[in-house]
Amino acid sequence: MNLDATKLSELDAFMAETAHKTNSHSYVIAVLHKAQQLFGYLPREAMDYIAHAMNIPTAHIWGVATFYHFFNLKPVGKHPVSVCMGTACYVKGAKLVLDAIKEELRITIGETTEDGIFTLQETRCIGACGLAPVMMVGDKIYGDITPKKAVKVLAQIRKETV
């Protein structure tokens, strides 16, 4: 896979900002964040690129990228779907919502739909317990969600995306 040249030069610019700072190696997490923001996930080529640019052995980059759950090692869909499995959401039926979504999208947690639109995740409490059960699509929160409502929301988003 070849990385997009425009995105790479943006990554270069970001790394250049950190390069002259003391302990520049410690900016590796920030740089990985930037890469994920640019590419949607951390492709191996991006990690290789960062490793050579920052002079950090690839094995160490891999160690960091796998340690933090925030980093995606596989491509993610355009719209990440997270169902909150925190206590409040759970007792209000989040599990049923999750099951309905799994069935509708024919994927399980951590997977991406074939058309690349949705990636399903479960999350711990997002601090919106008053709205429980809660589903997030991208940055948008959907409260008081039911299995039926969830499926409808996703269908609508898919329609708008395609």
Partner 1 sequence: MDTTTVNIIIDGKPYAARHGQTIMQAADEHGFHIPRLCYHPRLSIEGACRVCIVEVEGAKNYVASCAFPVSEGMKIHTNTQEIRRARRDIVELILDNHPDDCHTCERDSNCELQRLAASMGIRNRHFKGEKKHYEKDLSSASVIRDPNKCILCQRCLRICSEVQGVNALSHAFRGFQTVVMPAYNLPFAESVCSTCGQCINVCPTAAFVEKNCTQELFEKLNDPSIIKVVQVAPSVRAAIGEAFALEPGRNMEGQTAAALRRLGFDYVFDTQFSADLTIMEEASEFLERFQNKDRLPLITSCSSAWMKMMEQFHPDFIPNISSCKSPMVMMGTLVKTYFAEKMKIDPAKILSVGCMCCTAKKYEAERPELRVNNMAAVDMVITTRELAWMVKSAGIDFINIHPESFDLPLGLSSGGGAIFGVTGGVMESAIRTAYEMYTGETLVDIEIGALRGFSGIREGKITMDKDEIRVAVAHGLGNASELLDIVRKNPQRYHFIEIMGCPGGCIGGGGQPYAGVNSMPLDENILKKRAEALYSIDRAKTIRRSLDNPDVQRMYKEYLGSPLSQRAHDLLHTHYAPKLPQGILPIESTVK
Q: According to the annotation, is 77 in a ligand binding site? A: no
Site string for partner 1, 12-31 (x = CB under 8 A): -------------x------
Place of tokens 């002079």: 55
Q: According to the annotation, is 129 in a ligand binding site? A: yes
The 8 Å CB, 24+ separation contacts for 137-140 are 137/79, 137/80, 137/81, 138/79, 138/80
Longest dimension (CA), the chain: 53
Nearer to partner 1, 60 or 140 (CB): 60
Query: Could you say which of 8, 11, 15, 47 contacts partner 1 (CB under 8 A)?
Result: 47
Pair 141, 89: CB distance under 8 Å: no
**Count of residues of this chain found to bind partner 1 when the rule CB under 8 A is applied:** 17
Query: Could you say which of 6, 59, 106, 162 contacts partner 1 (CB under 8 A)?
Result: 59
CB of 37 to partner 1, least distance (A): 21
Please state, in angstroms and rounded to a whole number, the distance separating the CA atoms of residues 27 and 110: 27
Contacting positions for partner 1 (CB under 8 A): 25, 44, 47-48, 51-52, 55-63, 66-67
